[in-house]
Amino acid sequence: MTDGKIVRYEEIVPFARGDLVETRLMVGRGTDPSAPFTTGTTVFPAGSAAPLHSHNCAEQVTILSGTAEAMVGGEVVQLGPLDTSFVPADVPHYFRNTGAGQLTILWIYGARDVTRTFVETGETVAHMSPRDQV
């Protein structure tokens, strides 16, 4: 058990997801053995996207900066800063940067052990594993 933790964003080593997309794990199984959830950020350059996928747990995504098109459970919407989505486990979704600049999202998963299943291929991979690419 820990007494808490302070995370300095600039000290987090980014995880390259392909297509210049970068993810940073802030709190989760890789940073704190007592954390019951997983959270971090992903930065998408203009025109990039996370492909249609689902997770084994619930996810909240908040747009920190930029604009996005999101599809959650078949509904496509436009999102801007501080707009937030809730995605239940196993619900297909994607986020696409629709702006001229970067899109930064904050994500929170309701589990320590997170998987991503790509809808197009049916492949399931561990979150932030080498095969977890955009």
Could you tell me the residue ranges of all domains in the chain?
A: 25-126
- Kindly state the DSSP code that residue 14 receives in the 8-state scheme: P
Q: What band does 2 get if pLDDT is binned at 50, 70 and 90?
A: low
Q: Express each pLDDT in 41-60 by its tens digit.
A: 999 999 999 999 999 999 99
DSSP state for residue 133 in the 8-state scheme: -
Fold (topology level) of 25-126: Jelly Rolls (2.60.120)
pLDDT tens, position by position, 92-110: 999 999 999 999 999 999 9
Q: DSSP readout, 40-98?
A: EEEEE-TT-EEEEEEESS-EEEEEEES-EEEEETTEEEEE-TT-EEEE-TT--EEEEE-
